[in-house]
A and B are shown apart, each in its own frame.
Chain A
């Protein structure tokens, strides 16, 4: 690969597989509070262990303004994608929401499924209310 420097080639560090851009959990599993880093790492490495470069962060819990904060370093993501890194599904979905990638097809399906669920729940709730009133 052109992007790997001569130094790393000479070091001959063993790695299996390719480079991926994925979410790694930060916070060391101690707190009941997930927080992800968007990270470029080798495929075979453990999820939270040593990565090549951190490219951003994702906070899945909404803050007081009901926002989920996502940051990504577009310059470096473009570089790693150019080097042949594969993004995983959640990363592809997030970047599709951002407009950086085209929309992931599963997001549309998920949205439809969720809408169907909410409609079912709404359809069930008025029925229960009516039943209680009758009783």
Chain B
């Protein structure tokens, strides 16, 4: 009897201990994951995960802000000249056609990913001093097995000193382009991407073409890609030419960059001047999500503000050009009052 109760106590305590182990395991894994994803928030007591570019909520907000101007998405691109096709349709068929065109436009507007910069590869596989002086040139060995993703392919280089090392990211890109060519990509980057030439292209208002070319040429996490995109967004923000990218697939990236750099004022004013209140509100919402410890976010959450109030809170607390933003807000309120009256 005593043995039975003792066994029962042991079993119960064992189950508690088992659960504790599992819980600590889960806790350790969760905290490790959160520490990895949000190094800046590790000091704060609440374990808040920073929203990433590819989260569904963030993507929703960004797609809404991008807008869907069918005229601009389907404007004539440089392609082969074909004679136009004319079709006779009923109203219902026309509606179907516009609907499918809308879906096609949404697919065309899919945002390219924003990834952190890739870490350089410095792996040395073997050092063979006995092979020194075997040849004056390097040997580059690529594995051309068909079914491996390009990121996992083996590309190794044997130097004349005898070291066998993995190829760096730039070498990898070049050699993958040799053996598995992608359309439009060149082996060496075109000289447009140098600083002086970029400025000239921006002077001609061709930011979108620039970004498309960058998309084709570089990988999304290479330093070149990030540098070109940063330069383009800076120039757009300086000139205030946000309209160039509106309704293209690069607008989401622009907004994400500005929100992370906390310089959303110009975009806000531009939106208010064009009477896009919903977009401005979602912009402030996104800002609050990404920077939850800023004063704007805390005020908004404490007052449960919506619509124009959010904008007013933002203008008061966060913006550097508060005067301009408040002016624009007042102008918008006046025009909306006049239109209702």
Contacts and interface: CB of A to CB of B under 8 A. Distances in A.
Interface in B88-147: 125-126, 128, 130-146
Nearest to A117: B133
Contacts, number: 79
Contact of B133 (A74, A98, A114): A114
B228 interface: no
Contact of A75 (B133, B145, B178): B145
Contact of A107 (B134, B142, B175): B134
A115 B145 contact: no
Interface residues of A, number: 28
Interface stretch (A8-16, A25-33, A61-69): A61-69
B165 to A, nearest CB: 11
Interface in A72-109: 72-76, 94, 97-100, 103, 107-108
B174 to A, nearest CB: 8
A74 B154 CA distance: 10
B144 to A, nearest CB: 5
Interface in B151-187: 154, 156-158, 162, 164, 175, 178-179
A98 B144 CA distance: 13
Contacts of B154: 74
A73 to B, nearest CB: 5
Contacts of A128: none
A28 B166 CA distance: 34
A66 B137 contact: yes
A2 interface: no
Contacts of A62: 136-138
A69 B140 CA distance: 5
Contacts of A99: 125-126, 141, 156, 164
Contacts of B157: 67
Interface of A: 56, 62, 65-76, 94, 97-100, 103, 107-108, 110-112, 114-115, 118
14 contacts: A67-B138, A69-B140, A70-B141, A70-B142, A72-B141, A72-B144, A73-B145, A73-B146, A75-B146, A97-B139, A97-B158, A103-B131, A111-B132, A114-B134
Shortest 9 CB-CB contacts between residues of A and residues of B: A62-B137, A98-B141, A111-B134, A75-B145, A71-B142, A115-B133, A71-B144, A67-B140, A67-B138
